[in-house]
């Protein structure tokens, strides 16, 4: 199969989510097996896309469909093979001799030997229509392969970002638990001094324990997301051991300044729908042409000694359309063409809707993420620090401490989720605005 690493880098550039690779993508191509493809330094998104484009199961299936369509197109270009036959008759089985005055060998006996060569002649444009149908099927398969690549790229970014989000959530919960463990240590000192009650200290420890449980749950979720990513990468035995090299912050930073390439054509799914319409149109033309009988021209040579030792002849055979005019097949083809026309209109509307929705979602995600990054997150951290210091000095209540810690934890989780949304929205925008390139459809 063709090497897709250059296409992977193009895809990453389109969504502006590429990061500097820690090692060449070529070093990853031998990673299929029971272990995750983790190079030194971790798996970058660029490398994950290269692996997905080269090994994803759905893409391999779509590539096989294209190969089958090309084989069918090659078959449609071939001329019908002639038919040859040879027969011998007038052979007596009752003991009488078949010898003639010419002799008693096979060729001189009174047998009637006939050799025939026949060729089907297609009329009414059937051959052209059949080739048009096969060519349209090939174009549709190529467009479906390109569309599968489009969705696999977006899906890989989603899976990579989801795994990074789950990992980041686990880290945030662990960090928040560590903060509260420090507060519990200070609370123990204040308990000995009589400044707070044992219940206050226990509440801090319970809150820390809950955050530790949240971290464990997030780690389990991260494992599931890594397994889903490895499945997209086409690993035969996903283990969830892949290590991600790109953080959500890095992905969001690159995605926030990205913009999809200018449209230079139609999206692959719309190209596929139009190709299916062309195929349905060709099929209708073929079924209409089937009403015209195709003659079979036959020439023959006959050897029947002694009276007709050598003679030639010919014949024309065709189907007489008395009992049927192929009306059922034509009606079915007309219905298929109408359905293909509706599908083109539906996909065109879907493309326009996807593009508009993706642009809106991307703009909202970037604005929300920047607000969290530049405003809410720094202020929340400052408030947590201030309340923590005040609690240590007796100037803040336990309720104030827990509320500040909980709000800061929530803000950090939402900021991380916003970064994930930016990365995903950028991938969705690139997928919605992508255009079909015939050269990129070759496996």
Identify the pLDDT of residue 82. Answer: 93
Q: What is the pLDDT of residue 342?
A: 97
pLDDT at 37: 52
Q: Quick one: pLDDT at residue 442?
A: 52
| Local confidence band at 10 (pLDDT 50, 70, 90 cut-offs) | very low
Q: Residues 15-27: pLDDT tens digits?
A: 433 333 333 333 3
Given a cut of 70, whether residue 40 has pLDDT beyond it is no
Asked whether the predicted pLDDT for residue 406 surpasses 70, the reply is: yes
pLDDT in tens, 64-81: 999 999 999 999 998 889
- Average pLDDT, stretch 82-97? 89
Q: Provide the percentage of residues in the chain whose pLDDT is more than 90.
A: 48
Q: What are the strands of the beta sheet with 83-89, ordered from one edge?
A: 83-89, 112-120, 296-304, 308-317
Distance CA(63)–CA(441), nearest Å, equals: 9
Q: What is the 3-state secondary structure (H, E, C) of the chain?
A: CCCCHHHHHHHHHHHCCCCCCCCCHHHHCCCCCCCCCCCCCCECHHHHHHHHHHHCHHHHHHHHHHHHHHHHHHHHHCCCCCEEEEEEECCCCCCCCCCECCECCCCCCCCEEEEEEEEECCCCCHHHHHHHHHHHHHHHHHHHHHHHHHHHHHHHHHHHHHHHHHHHHHHHHHHHHHHHHHHHHHHHHHHHHCCCCHHHHHHHHHHHHHHHHHHHHHHHHHHHHHHHHHHHCCCCCCCCCCCECCCHHHHHHHHHCCCCCCCCCCCHHHHHHHHHHHHHHHHHHHHHHCCCCCCEEEEEEEEECCCEEEEEEEEEECCCCCCCCCHHHHHHHHHHHHHHHHHHHHHHHHHHHHHHHHHHHHHHHHHHHHHHHHHHHHHHHHHHHHHHHHHHCCCCCHHHHHHHHHHHHHHHHHHHHHHHHHHHHHHHHHHHCCCCCHHHHCC
Q: What is the pTM of this model?
A: 0.77
Give the pLDDT confidence score for residue 397 in this predicted structure. 81
Torsion of Cα atoms, 431 then 436 then 437 then 441, to 10° = 90
How many other CB atoms sit within 10 Å of the CB of residue 26?
11
Quick one: average pLDDT of 292-300? 92
What is the average pLDDT value for the chain, to the nearest integer? Answer: 84
Q: Are 180 and 405 a contacting pair, CB within 8 Å?
A: yes
339-343, 393-397, 414-418, 420-424: the lowest-pLDDT one: 393-397
Q: Hey, what domains does the chain have and what are their CATH numbers?
A: 5-80+122-291+326-441 (1.20.1600.10)
- To the nearest 10°, report the CA torsion of 263, 269, 274, 277: -170
Q: What is the mean pLDDT of residues 228-252?
A: 89
């Amino acid at each position: 199969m063709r090497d897709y690493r250059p296409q992977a880098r193009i895809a990453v550039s389109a969504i502006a989510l590429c990061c500097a690779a820690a090692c060449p993508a070529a070093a990853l191509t031998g990673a299929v097996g029971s272990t995750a493809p983790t190079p030194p330094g971790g798996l970058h998104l660029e490398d994950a896309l290269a692996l997905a484009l080269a090994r994803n199961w759905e893409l391999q299936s779509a590539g096989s469909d294209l190969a089958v369509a090309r084989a069918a197109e090659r078959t449609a270009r071939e001329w019908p093979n002639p038919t040859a036959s040879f027969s011998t008759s007038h052979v007596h089985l009752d003991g009488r001799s078949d010898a003639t005055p010419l002799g008693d060998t096979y060729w001189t006996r009174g047998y009637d030997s006939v050799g025939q060569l026949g060729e089907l002649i297609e009329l009414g444009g059937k051959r052209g229509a059949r080739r048009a149908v096969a060519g349209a099927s090939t174009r549709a398969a190529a467009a479906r392969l390109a569309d599968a690549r489009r969705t696999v790229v977006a899906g890989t970014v989603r899976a990579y970002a989801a795994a990074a989000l789950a990992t980041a959530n686990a880290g945030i919960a662990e960090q928040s638990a560590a903060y509260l463990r420090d507060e519990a240590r200070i609370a123990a000192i204040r308990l000995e001094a009589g400044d707070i009650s044992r219940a206050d200290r226990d509440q801090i420890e319970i809150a820390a324990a809950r955050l530790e449980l949240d971290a464990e749950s997030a780690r389990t979720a991260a494992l599931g997301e890594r397994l889903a990513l490895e499945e997209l990468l086409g690993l035969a035995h996903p283990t969830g051991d892949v290590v991600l090299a790109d953080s959500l912050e890095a992905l969001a930073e690159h995605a926030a300044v990205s913009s999809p390439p200018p449209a230079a054509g139609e999206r692959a799914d719309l190209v596929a729908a139009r190709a299916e319409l062309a195929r349905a149109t060709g099929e209708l033309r073929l079924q209409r042409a089937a009403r015209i009988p195709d003659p079979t021209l036959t020439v023959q040579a006959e050897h029947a000694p002694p009276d007709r030792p050598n003679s030639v002849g010919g014949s024309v055979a065709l189907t007489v359309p008395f009992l049927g005019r192929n009306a059922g097949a034509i009606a079915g083809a007309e219905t298929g063409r109408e359905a293909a026309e509706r599908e083109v209109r539906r996909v065109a509307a879907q493309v326009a809707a996807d593009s508009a929705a993706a642009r809106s979602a991307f703009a909202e995600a970037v604005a929300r993420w920047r607000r969290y990054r530049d405003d809410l997150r720094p202020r929340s951290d400052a408030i947590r620090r201030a309340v923590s210091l005040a609690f240590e000095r007796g100037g803040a209540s336990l309720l104030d401490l827990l509320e500040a810690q909980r709000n800061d934890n929530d803000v950090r989780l939402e900021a991380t989720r916003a970064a994930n949304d930016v990365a995903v929205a950028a991938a969705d925008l690139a997928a919605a605005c992508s255009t079909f390139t015939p050269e990129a459809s070759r496996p």
